[in-house]
Chains A and B, each alone.
Chain A
Amino acid sequence: MLEGLHSAAAGMAAQQQRLDAVANDLANANTTGYKHQRVGFRDLVYDQTGRSSAQGVRTGSGAAAVDAGRAFAQGTLQRTDRTLDVAIQGEGFLRVRLADGRDALTRDGGLHIDGNRRLTTSTGAIVQPAITVPEGVGEDQVSIGPDGTVLAAGNRIGRLDVVTVRSEAGLLSVGNNAFVTTAASGAAIAAPRATTLTQGALESSNTDMAEAMVSMIESQRAYQLTSKAISTADEMMGIANQVKR
């Protein structure tokens, strides 16, 4: 009786999930290389309703949120003039190895030199293949070309490998600006030629503040409206209970 209670609850849960995603997007409005989440919705199964309806009358059972991966639209480039900052323009990721040994992909190009003189990201993930900056070469003597070639005081010491995957939406976000490949994304392959690197710049987050705010308002109102369906169903059950006084 009154399946609508559950349909409405499912709808509220879906809105809540979107709100969580929007909150995460807003919290990362200034995170280098952050890609905002794409949340969708779908309706749930339609079932034959109980008594007092003709055959073939079916009501739905609510809605669910769908994770459609990240939106990999390019974020705007921010000039930093730091020699170890590098922004990716176009499709692609830097290959890095995380502290736990997993290979990952990132668009956060704020690089550093670690204790072993290797290039790492700001979270300590080591750039793959490893690039070692010779002793005595300062940060400001490193130059990174549009194709990823890294020069230290004029000598070539390696190349930043820019890769991509067939299905970016299938990448799994593991935090620290890093993504790992999954069966749904496919293995890493070379990035298209059009992708270039820009030294002295960082890619800003692609969270669109205005859009996130609108999503937030819409979610909240939809949540509120759906909750009314629950209170109405509750009231109706109260009425039914009072049939016998």
Chain B
Amino acid sequence: MDRGLYIAASGMLAEQIRQDQIANDLANASTPGYKADRTSQRSFNDLLLANSATGATVGPQSTAVQVDRIVTDFSGRPLRDTGEPLDFGISGDGFFAVQTAQGVRYTRNGQFALDTQGRLVTASGDPVLGPNNQPITANADGTVNPRLIGVFNVTNPVKQGDSLVSGTAAGAATGTVQSGMLESSGADPARSMVDMISSMRAFEAGQKVIQTIDETLGKAATQVGSVSS
């Protein structure tokens, strides 16, 4: 019976993680090229309960719940016009490649600038790469031909922060680069709000379960076998 206490507590912990993920989505509601997450939960291995007197099976019983993984939705979002010559958006699939100190990383955030050598760089100063992994040099007037920028397919992309994802490049992607555009954030505030409410209520339900079990235990401890009543 008291197993329920732990099951309810594990549910509350899982909801806390979901809440953290939703807060991160909301915080990035304006981050260009941000991709929204979704938390998926799964139950621990079920336990087969059996009647200890007769040996008859009672049925499976879950032991707890945990956050299994956080899935990122990498699908494209609409581009919005910014009019800045060094803002780029990918319409369709693919990622920009960026040469960082840790190796090549990928991003859909195309808010770029030029460095002192006239190369196209990200906001953190890392060079953006062309289709053959070479840095891209701007024209004399400070513009960059969007067709020079490489767009790559990335397998198993994993978010790294700083708008970057790591993964393995798998050839050129079908997406096309447009200048003067940025991809909107993938965070959907309406969905996040709904998720936040349902997560909070699930958390609250977990609390009620714990309180109820506690009450039952309290009764067992104080009232069962009491002679006075």
A residues near B, CB below 8 A?
1-5, 7-8, 10-12, 14-15, 18, 38, 40-46, 49-54, 56-63, 66-69, 71-73, 91, 165-170, 183-186, 192, 194, 208, 211, 218-219, 221-222, 225-226, 228-230, 232-233, 235-236, 239-240, 242-245
Verify B141–A91 contact, CB threshold 8 A.
yes
Verify B142–A168 contact, CB threshold 8 A.
yes
Q: Considering the complex, which residues of chain B in the window 103-123 have a beta carbon less than 8 Å from any beta carbon of chain A?
A: 109, 111, 113-118, 123
Verify B17–A15 contact, CB threshold 8 A.
no
Q: With the chains together, A51 CA to B14 CA distance in Å?
A: 8
B147 CB → nearest A CB, Å? 22
Inter-chain pairs besides A225-B26, A225-B193, 14 sampled, C-beta below 8 Å: A3-B20, A4-B16, A4-B24, A40-B32, A42-B31, A52-B66, A53-B68, A54-B69, A57-B17, A71-B84, A168-B142, A192-B140, A235-B200, A239-B207
B213 CB → nearest A CB, Å? 11
B73: interface (CB < 8 Å): no
Q: Which of B14, B111, B160 contacts A53 (CB 8 A)?
A: B14
B168: interface (CB < 8 Å): no
Verify A229–B26 contact, CB threshold 8 A.
yes
Q: Which of A4, A46, A169, A235 contacts B159 (CB 8 A)?
A: A46
B27 CB → nearest A CB, Å? 2
B72 CB → nearest A CB, Å? 10
Verify A229–B109 contact, CB threshold 8 A.
no
A22 CB → nearest B CB, Å? 12
B29: interface (CB < 8 Å): yes
Q: With the chains together, A50 CA to B67 CA distance in Å?
A: 10
Please give, as numbers and ranges, the residues of chain A lying within 8 Å of B84 by CB-CB distance. 38, 71, 73
B63: interface (CB < 8 Å): no
Bitwise, B113-152 to A at CB < 8 A (1) or not (0) is 1111110000111000000000000001110000000000
Verify A184–B32 contact, CB threshold 8 A.
no
Verify B29–A225 contact, CB threshold 8 A.
yes
Verify A166–B117 contact, CB threshold 8 A.
yes
Verify B20–A167 contact, CB threshold 8 A.
no
Q: Which of A11, A49, A242 contacts B20 (CB 8 A)?
A: A49
B162: interface (CB < 8 Å): yes
B70: interface (CB < 8 Å): yes
Chain B interface: which size bin? 35 or more
Please give, as numbers and ranges, the residues of chain A lying within 8 Å of B189 by CB-CB distance. 221-222, 225
Please give, as numbers and ranges, the residues of chain B lying within 8 Å of A240 by CB-CB distance. 12, 203, 207
| Closest B residue to A241 using CB positions | B207
| Closest B residue to A45 using CB positions | B161
Q: Which of B16, B85, B115, B196 contacts A184 (CB 8 A)?
A: B115
Verify B116–A184 contact, CB threshold 8 A.
yes
Please give, as numbers and ranges, the residues of chain B lying within 8 Å of A3 by CB-CB distance. 20, 23
A43 CB → nearest B CB, Å? 5
B215 CB → nearest A CB, Å? 10
Verify A14–B140 contact, CB threshold 8 A.
no
A144 CB → nearest B CB, Å? 24
Verify B141–A54 contact, CB threshold 8 A.
no
Please give, as numbers and ranges, the residues of chain A lying within 8 Å of B46 by CB-CB distance. none
Please give, as numbers and ranges, the residues of chain A lying within 8 Å of B192 by CB-CB distance. 225, 229
Please give, as numbers and ranges, the residues of chain A lying within 8 Å of B160 by CB-CB distance. 45-46
Verify A50–B31 contact, CB threshold 8 A.
no
A15 CB → nearest B CB, Å? 7
**Contacts A52-B13, A239-B207 known; A10 to B27 CB distance under 8 Å?**
yes
Verify B32–A43 contact, CB threshold 8 A.
no
Please give, as numbers and ranges, the residues of chain B lying within 8 Å of A7 by CB-CB distance. 20, 23-24, 27
Verify B207–A11 contact, CB threshold 8 A.
no
B176: interface (CB < 8 Å): no
B100: interface (CB < 8 Å): no
Please give, as numbers and ranges, the residues of chain B lying within 8 Å of A69 by CB-CB distance. 113
Q: Which of B15, B28, B196 contacts A228 (CB 8 A)?
A: B196
Would you list 28 pairs from A and B whose C-beta atoms are within 8 A, ordered by A residue? A4-B21, A11-B27, A41-B31, A42-B123, A45-B162, A46-B159, A49-B20, A50-B13, A52-B10, A53-B14, A53-B66, A59-B17, A59-B37, A60-B24, A60-B28, A62-B23, A73-B85, A165-B116, A166-B114, A184-B115, A219-B30, A221-B189, A222-B29, A222-B30, A222-B189, A230-B23, A232-B19, A232-B200
